[in-house]
Amino acid sequence: MSKALAAAALLLLLGRPAGANAAEITIGIGTQNTTTNTVSTGIVIRQLKLLDKYLPQTGRYEGMTYKLDWQNFTSGPPVTNAMIADKLQFGAMGDYPLVVNGATLAASPDSHSELIATAAYNLAGSGNGVVVNVKSSYFSLADLKGKVVSVPFGSAAHGMLLKAMQDADMPADYFHLVNQSPEIGSTNLQEQKIDAHADFVPFVQLLPFHGFAREVFDGVQTHAPTWHGVVVRTDFAEKYPEIVVAYLRAIIDANAWIRADPQHAAEQIAAWTGTDKEVVYIFLGPGGIMTLDPTIKPQLLASAQSAAGVLQKLGRLDKFDVSGWANDSFLRTAFTQAGLDYDAQRASTANYAVTGQDEFCHRPVTNPLAAGEVWIDQEKIHPTSSPACTLGAVAQAKADGKKVLVAYLFDAGNGVKLFADKAFYAIGPASKDRLIAPYLLRADAEARATAIGGTVADFAGATTAAASGS
């Protein structure tokens, strides 16, 4: 090589980021495609190529090419292992795995991790839960004493179950806990080889939707937020901060895309992941179980610190300072670039709600938590204004020969979105304004029915009650 060519090559190399190879940067992103909470941090970005338009191309990045190495996992712990091995720079996972990720990499001599964004959250705690076979006689955690309960060890659902046991003063051997992935646990539950299965989004709703499971415990009963978030290796973030901001811009766009047309988004995500569109929608649609919001809220950090305490009590984690691990500076930059107010969004816990005109009862939806939705095949989802109107709309659609894919309602006690046909109903005495109140758990419906001098009904019984006086 001539001296001139060598000098030119040297100048070109000096203009590249440190560590770049042949003007290419590999970006490893650990996703969980079937975990609905994380789709806006992974599969949506990948399929819509949202990251590509924000990756820096000027200054020291001029002429740079990028290799996006998307790696899909079924739970959080393997994502952490890959980050430790420097095979991933970004990772998305649930709250308990996130805490373990932060604590584990804090002890690494090569790189720590930082929490840089939230993927989705439910402040009430819903999303994780425990399901049993629909044929079983179990209706609560207490019914499962001495029974075989499977859970993906190290997952957000495992953390929820450990907290529930601690809250109820259950000894460590109250259940016979076994480690099973969502896929294996689901199959074993269906075949009644285990008594119960604890899992995370979307499986606790997916299995009942498929008709062979019933939820007996929901994370909302722990009174602790559940959420998923995004972490980055600190060595990568320090070297390429512009790429971290680019990734967060893509997450902001993915959230906006889902909310702009949630029915279409659910259909697309279902096609990409194999998760039923009706299940995707119960999480990410209006009033969904999960709120899409990347800001790092104080409530979530407090919940993470509590999770660290649960793990410390069990001897599974040393002391870990969550506040020093979170870093929202990159996200603040992304919000500024997008023309958004980070502090206003961080202070808000509002989700978008069911709105519109109830075509069955001929009135507007004025109370989103008393509303419902009916999804008829080949039609736009219909908003309804009350449980009675929702059940009436379902009955009318079936009478008209239409295929009802699913109907949604909200738990009358905690406001969590439900599949209407899986709910238990407290039915008030017959009157012009007869109370019909849906609940996820039978015990809650029984308590309400007792309080109002009513009865408990299933979906069919509630539909009959709605037809006889709503």
Distances (CA, A) of 193 to 133, 200, 215, 282, 463: 10, 20, 17, 28, 34
Report the alpha-carbon distance of residue 40 to residue 292 in Å, rounded: 8
- Other beta carbons within 10 angstroms of residue 402's beta carbon come to 15
Report the candidate in 254, 232, 250 with the shortest Cα–Cα distance to residue 241.
232
Q: What is the pLDDT along the chain (470 residues), one digit of tens a residue?
A: 444 434 333 333 334 433 344 489 999 999 999 999 999 999 999 999 999 999 999 999 999 999 999 999 988 889 999 999 999 999 999 998 999 999 999 999 899 999 999 999 999 999 999 999 999 999 999 999 999 999 988 888 898 899 899 999 999 999 999 999 999 999 999 999 999 999 988 999 999 999 999 999 999 998 889 999 999 999 999 999 999 999 999 999 999 999 999 999 999 999 999 999 999 999 999 999 999 999 999 999 999 998 888 888 877 788 888 989 999 999 999 999 999 999 999 999 999 999 999 999 999 999 999 999 999 999 999 999 999 999 999 999 999 999 999 999 999 999 999 999 999 999 998 877 789 999 999 999 999 999 999 999 999 999 999 887 54
Question: Is 91:230 a contact under the CB 8 Å cutoff?
Answer: yes
How many DSSP H helices and E strands does the chain contain?
Answer: 17, 20
Fold agreement (3-120+227-347, 129-222): yes
Domain boundaries, the chain: 3-120+227-347, 129-222, 357-468
Question: Is 24:67 a contact under the CB 8 Å cutoff?
Answer: yes
Report the candidate in 380, 461, 456 with the shortest Cα–Cα distance to residue 421.
461
One of 1.10.20.140, 3.40.47.10, 3.40.50.880, 3.40.190.10 is the CATH number of 3-120+227-347, namely 3.40.190.10
Structure letter (DSSP) for residue 38: G
Domain 129-222: which CATH class? alpha beta
Question: Is 90:232 a contact under the CB 8 Å cutoff?
Answer: yes
